[in-house]
Amino acid sequence: MMIIEQNEEITLSEENGRVFIAITNDGYNLKKFDELTRKHTRLKVSNFLALKKALEHKSHDPIEVGSWIESMELEISEDKMEALLTIFESQTYIQENLAEIHSNIQKVLQEQRIIYGHRPIDLLSVKSGKTYIVAKGLPPEKGENAKVTYLDQAEKKPVVKEDGNTDFFDMNFIVEIKEGSWLGEKMPPQKGEDGINIFGESVPAELGDDIQLKYDTKSAYEVEEDGKTVLRSKTNGIIGVVNGVLSVQRHLVIDGDVGLETGSLTFDGSIRVKGTVMAGYSVIASGDISIEGKEGVNAAELIKSTEGDVYIKGGIFGRGVTKVEAYKNIFIKHANECTLEAKEDIHIGFYTLGSIIAANQILVDEHKGKIIGGKTIAVNSITAAYSGNSLERKTELIVQGIDRKILKENAKEKAEEMIKLQEKISNLNVQISHFNQLKNAMTVQQIAVFEQTKQKYNHLQVEIKEIDAEIQRILRTLRQPKDYHIHITKEANAGTIIQIGYKSSVLSSPTKGKFKIENGELNV
């Protein structure tokens, strides 16, 4: 038996880790016992009710009140990267026995075979019962993630000259590529640096995250070259991105004009016309359309891209019949008596005269561009240097804005529609798999049904992609700031109609500025 504390009031003793107290003075109370526990920090009281009862009945017989815990306790983290030490001795005892405590810490570490990452602790400031890190491993460093690089697409925007003027005559609109051309590459994820735990054992590092190359497998392929995965083209064409996936799109080049020799064109891919589109003829393509003749387009009927952009280097003399439609953007030198419609933006270099123009944003060169007559309608903004003319020709500039609630509902409805189509796709996929199992033993009738099922499957795939693209377009629109405005930088002539949302005003005298709704009113 070891005597822990003995005075005229109590005897505190320990035997086999059990602590007993004998009360020799009837005046001893709970408050004094509390002071005793603060002095002897290794005392852990677990039999409080027995102690309370003994104090109330003034019992002089030894009673068991708890246990005498170890001087210190070492805990090892689950990952073996940290050793945590708790010292239960009082601060007074620690400061009076620094060498002993330090020796005991080293002994505990040695007993547990902790050989790496020892961390000294300041024993002069150690608090009883508080946990301290006495060893810490070196964590492994995760390897670098895979790195993916793709071929840059043509930057479809007007070239700005050194003098600040915009050149709409020359745009790097379509980049043609050859079979086997480099389209992109992926450097594989790298191995990191191994770590060491507190037992001196190696801790393997994680490989960096992998990233998949996104591409259309029908038009591109992967090949291993010099320790990296290289993406190359299967065919001639132009680079493009459809629904976030890199692809090489079919490309038709017309060396001359679209007219009597070629007839009107409809093509699944992009079209580059080095000449013009003659009066009464049309060009319709799923991809980008580039009309590069310097004379522009004169009274052509329809130029339409169902998935891409339209670029007309020389502008349009429409004679009231030409219509240009783009799923994305239109880039044009000038627009004369024609109709332009784009779901994204329309860029015009010189002027628009007597035309109907509709897009998300309409940008006529802010230094010298003119909008004269006609109706110009944008969702977000219209920018030009001049509007109308000195003869006060009626010129309508309209920014509609968006009804966010309706757009959100549209996106929701389209998402629900896409889910239903995906369910149909899944069912058709099951049918196709079943037919494939019977492929060599099918009747003529079964073969016909099989082909019809595949056609339905492909049609639904296209429909789903179109709906998804429309949902993404709506979401992009919703993310745009509510900065609806009409900006005329040089002069808005009398006769110009300025309309933002439902607010409109007809200018009676020349002015300029950024017109928008302020405090519920049009700031004209």
pLDDT at 172: 58
d(CA 317, CA 296): 8
Closest to 10 (Cα-Cα) out of 30, 28, 31:
28
Residue 368 Ramachandran class (φ > 0 left, ψ -120 to 50 alpha, else beta): alpha
Tokens standing for 448? 């016909």
pLDDT in tens, the chain (524 residues): 788 778 887 878 878 878 888 887 777 777 877 777 777 777 788 888 877 777 777 777 888 888 887 888 899 999 999 999 988 888 888 888 889 889 999 999 999 999 999 999 888 888 888 899 999 999 999 999 999 988 876 666 655 555 555 554 456 566 678 888 888 899 999 999 999 999 999 999 999 999 888 888 888 889 999 889 999 988 888 777 665 677 777 888 899 999 999 999 999 888 999 999 999 999 999 889 999 998 889 999 999 999 889 999 889 999 999 999 999 999 999 999 999 999 999 999 899 999 999 999 999 999 999 999 999 999 999 999 999 999 999 999 999 887 677 778 888 888 888 888 888 888 888 888 877 777 677 788 878 888 888 888 888 888 888 888 888 878 877 777 678 899 999 999 999 999 998 889 999 999 999 999 888 888 98
66 C-beta neighbours (distance < 10 Å), count: 20
- Let me know: does 380 contact 399? Beta carbons within 8 Å: yes
- Let me know: does 395 contact 374? Beta carbons within 8 Å: yes
- Let me know: does 229 contact 204? Beta carbons within 8 Å: no
d(CA 25, CA 325): 104
Tokens standing for 28? 């001893």
Helix, strand and coil in the chain, % to nearest 5: 20, 40, 40
pTM of the predicted protein model: 0.59
Closest to 502 (Cα-Cα) out of 515, 521, 488:
521
Nearest-10 crossing angle of helices 404-437, 444-479: 160
- Let me know: does 234 contact 183? Beta carbons within 8 Å: no
d(CA 35, CA 514): 79
29-64 CB burial, b ≥16 within 10 A, e <16 = eeeebeebeeebbbbeeebeeebeebbeeeeeeebe
Tokens standing for 82? 């940290």
User: Alpha carbon 102 to chain centroid distance?
Assistant: 53
CA dist list (Å): 20 to 56, 187, 352, 432: 17, 70, 102, 82
